[in-house]
Each structure stands twice: as C-alpha cells, then as structure tokens.
C-alpha cells in the first residue's frame, strides 16, 4: 500500500511541473528534508501535506480586461484536508511587480478590495487525499470592487490608485492566510500563511486602431433615453419616489461619479461587482430637494443596465452650518437600453 501511495505522490508531483504555475513557500512551517536517495520534489509540501500553486488561465491579459488566475490547493496526504473560507480571496494579497526592460518603469501594485466582511463567501473547501481544490480569482467579475494601489513609493507621495494595470509584463505573487474553523482540527484543517513564488503575466495594450470604443452620437442618445425612462417617471411621482431606502455614500462633495457608483455597487446585493459607467447627466432638481443638484448615470452592472440617481447631502443643511461633508445619497433603478438601430424616432418612454 505504501508503494502505491508513493507512486501516486510522485505522479502528482510530475503532473504539477507541467502546469503553468509554481508552488508556494510556507514560512515557518519547517519542511522536512527528504532522504538523500529520494528524488527532489517538484513541489514543496508543508507539514499538513499540502502544496499551493498559482495557475494562470492564460499567459496574457487582453487589452481592456483584468487578470484571472487560479489558486490550487493540492493534498499530498493520506486523508482529506479542509480549507476554511477557501473562496474568500478578497482576504489575500495579490501583488504585481513590473519586470519591464526599462528600470524606470519598474513598479509594484497591490489589489485593494473594498471588502465587506458580512458579504464574504464563507465556506469550507475540501481536497481529498491525492486531489486538489481550486479558487478562481477572476478580477473581471470580482467578489468586491477594487483598485490597484502602487506600493513601494516615497512615504511623502500620495497613494496612487488605478482601475487597470498599465500594460507590460509583471510577476504576480499571492500572500495567503487562513484561520482555522471555530473547532480546531489540525489533522484535517489547513491553517497558517504562505507566499507564493511569482508567475509571469503579460498585460497587453491596445493595438493601433483598436483603442477603446468611444460612443457615437446615436449611442449617446440611446443612453440618454435609457436614463429618461427612469427620470421621467420619477418626475411624475409628486416626490413620493424620495421615500424609502437610500445608500449613504461616505465620499466628499467633489467625488467622481465613477467612485460613487462603485460604492453603491459594492454595498448592494445586485449581483455582479463588475460595472461600467456609460453616461452621466445632470437631471432637473426635484421640488422636494430644491437645494441639491441631482445626477443620473447609466451603468452596466454585469449584463444588466441600471440608472443610478445621486446627489451630495452636505450642502445648505440647517443643522450643518459648517457645511461639513456628509456624503452622498444614492439609489438605482432598472432600465432598458434600446440599441440605436431599433430606437423609434422621437421616442421617450
């Protein structure tokens, strides 16, 4: 039986060398040195009999898209192993280090998720003996909204954040950490932290003549019509639409519409956290909120279209003589986006 077990482990190790990915190094776990006669292992296995690898879905990321990788946990032991919150990759640190040929272009970027603890996926993942389980880290459809923050810069510099990584080649590493379940089971529950060795990933730029699409006049008209389908109905509601739940967004008065929408999408249970702001308009001030200028944004959230209504609620408040920043009020509604080719002439609703 032991011979078959050893053979299975050797086969798994050999297969792992064929994958696009590398094993991680477990600091502080104290790897046992193999006997002098044993072949060098293809992966480092920690005291739990587990190895972890970053596996790329593809070696390059097309222009305009986000990276997607898989974190693979392989159980080399003789019994099953559980991983607490194994899908909550928002708790892990993903760092992209530029490896451009020009040293002046070298930079490091860390993914900063806007994590909401009560919305994290809580689950127990399991890998049976000799098998693996995987966590799909797809930043095109993330668990939460996020930005890339540049790290390793002068401490006096303001933090720089971007929504898309600059094109170029990077080395990606992940720092993982897992806490045990409320009942500790060292034999079957993996716990601790680990830092992966890097994998190389290429962020592609747009080819000449293939820059991001800019909406045409006909498309902008269709966007405005999709917004009007909501705002026209609100105007006919005699102010009753202002009742009910509003998102309270803790952002300054000069916050960009994109950041306001991102905060609402992240807090909501609408589904996807992937979104794109298509069009933003100032809309007529409602008589019930005469001191505020409202804005409306047409946003694609996942595969659906929503209209976001928002305004700052920090201006001219009688109970706020200092006019301190109190954030924004926001809400969103369903709408329909009619392609320009099928849009009736002069249509409003």
pLDDT < 50 positions in the chain:
1-42, 348-349
State the CB neighbour count (10 A cutoff) for residue 24.
Answer: 25
Q: How far apart are CA 342 and CA 324, in angstroms?
A: 47
What DSSP designation does 9 have?
Answer: H
**What does 204-266 look like in DSSP terms, one character per residue?**
PPPPTT-PPPPPPHHHHHHHHHHHHHHHHHHHTTTTGGGSS--EEE---TT--HHHHHHHHHH
pLDDT at site 158: 60
**Residue 29 near residue 47, CB atoms below 8 Å:** yes
Q: How far apart are the first and last CA of the chain?
A: 73
Task: Write the pLDDT tens digit of every residue in 230-252.
Answer: 988 887 766 677 787 888 898 88
For the entire predicted model, the pTM comes to: 0.76
Cα-based angle 81, 83, 86 (whole degrees, multiple of 5): 145
What are the phi and psi torsion angles at 218 (to 5°)? -65, -40
pLDDT at site 232: 86
> For 190, what's the count of Cα atoms within 13 Å in the CB-facing half-sphere?
34
Taking the alpha carbons of 81, 73, 190, 29 in that order, is the dihedral positive or negative?
positive
**What does 291-319 look like in DSSP terms, one character per residue?**
T--EEEEEEEETTEEEEEEEEES-SS-TT
Q: How far apart are CA 256 and CA 261, in angstroms?
A: 9
């Amino acid at each position: 039986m032991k011979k078959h077990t050893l053979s299975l482990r050797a086969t798994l190790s050999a297969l792992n060398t064929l994958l696009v990915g590398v094993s991680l190094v477990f600091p502080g776990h104290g790897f046992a040195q193999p006997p002098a006669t044993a072949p060098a292992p293809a992966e480092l296995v920690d005291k739990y009999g587990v190895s972890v690898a970053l596996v790329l879905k593809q070696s390059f990321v097309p222009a305009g898209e986000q990276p997607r990788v898989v974190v693979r946990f392989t159980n080399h032991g003789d019994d099953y192993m559980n991983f607490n919150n194994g899908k909550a990759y928002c708790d892990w640190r993903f760092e992209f280090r530029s490896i451009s040929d020009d040293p002046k272009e070298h930079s490091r970027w860390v993914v900063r998720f806007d994590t909401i603890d009560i919305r994290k996926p809580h689950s127990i993942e399991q890998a049976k003996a000799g098998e693996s389980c995987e966590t799909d880290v797809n930043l095109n459809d993330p668990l939460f909204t996020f930005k890339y923050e540049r790290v390793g810069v002068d401490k006096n510099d303001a933090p720089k954040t971007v929504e898309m990584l600059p094109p170029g080649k990077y080395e990606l590493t992940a720092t993982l950490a897992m806490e045990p379940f409320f009942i500790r089971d060292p034999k079957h529950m993996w716990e601790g932290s680990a830092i992966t060795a890097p994998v190389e990933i290429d962020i592609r730029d747009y080819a000449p003549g293939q820059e991001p699409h800019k909406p045409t006049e006909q498309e902008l008209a269709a966007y405005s019509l999709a917004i009007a389908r909501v705002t026209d109905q609100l105007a006919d509601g005699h102010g009753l639409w202002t009742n009910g739940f509003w998102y309270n967004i803790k952002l300054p008065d000069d916050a960009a519409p994109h950041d306001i929408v991102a905060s609402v999408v992240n807090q909501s249970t609408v589904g996807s956290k992937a979104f794109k702001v298509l069009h933003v308009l100032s809309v007529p001030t409602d008589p019930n909120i005469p001191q505020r200028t409202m804005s409306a944004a047409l946003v694609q959230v996942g595969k659906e279209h929503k209209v976001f209504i928002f305004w700052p609620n920090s201006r001219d408040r009688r109970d706020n003589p200092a006019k301190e920043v109190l954030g924004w009020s926001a809400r969103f509604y369903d709408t329909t986006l009619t392609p320009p080719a099928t849009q009736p002439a002069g249509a409003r609703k």
